[in-house]
Amino acid sequence: MAVKTAVFVSGGGTNLQALIDRKLSGGLDSCELTLVVSSNPDAYALERAKAAGIETAALDRQSYADSAAFCKALEDLVAARGIELIVLAGFMTVLTAEFIAKHENRTINVHPSLIPSFCGKGFYGLRVHKAALDYGVKVTGATVFIVTPEVDAGPIIAQKAVAVQDGDTPETLQRRVMAEAEHVILPEAVEEMCRRISGR
């Protein structure tokens, strides 16, 4: 049986699309893309999911009093659908320790740097790439890791390096890291995790 997987998103959903594309090409045999949940009702990722025939849910983070209430609503959603793996793909809300504990070793995230560089609280989106350029690194990349209560500190599943080019801006670097690293290693890591969970 394929592992029921939920993808949590907040924005455009390019990493979600990478998973959908890999599934369509036969590369996610152990994974069932069951549910896509967005913390932003206007996220384009929801349109990508609908186009692929995946159930969607929008939980507007602003509508909840605090993280605990928001994560309770998330928990109700995933529990009702028997979700076995959660993939954070550009999800802009930090999950509570209680939620993470309920899905210990079954929640993964993709981060646009080679952890432990340029990660942790405050490092997300273009900020990560700006920090890499400001520091002057010649190589950056992406990391997929298991989520723990400490931000960006869980066990690493996969990493892929990307060269920084002369004249890069945070925007050009972001696009290249997505295309050359994130969209490559996230589907591979999801399949690996699903195989672990299913005991294949």
Known catalytic residues are 111
Closest CA to 176 of 188, 164, 186: 164
What's the chain look like in SS3? CCEEEEEEECCCCHHHHHHHHHHHCCCCCCEEEEEEEECCCCCHHHHHHHHCCCEEEECCHHHCCCHHHHHHHHHHHHHHCCCCEEEECCCCCCCCHHHHHHCCCCEEEEECCCCCCCCCCCCCCHHHHHHHHHHCCCEEEEEEEECCCCCCCCCEEEEEEEECCCCCCHHHHHHHHHHHHHHHHHHHHHHHHHHHHHCC
Residues 6+ apart with CB under 8 A from 165: 172, 176
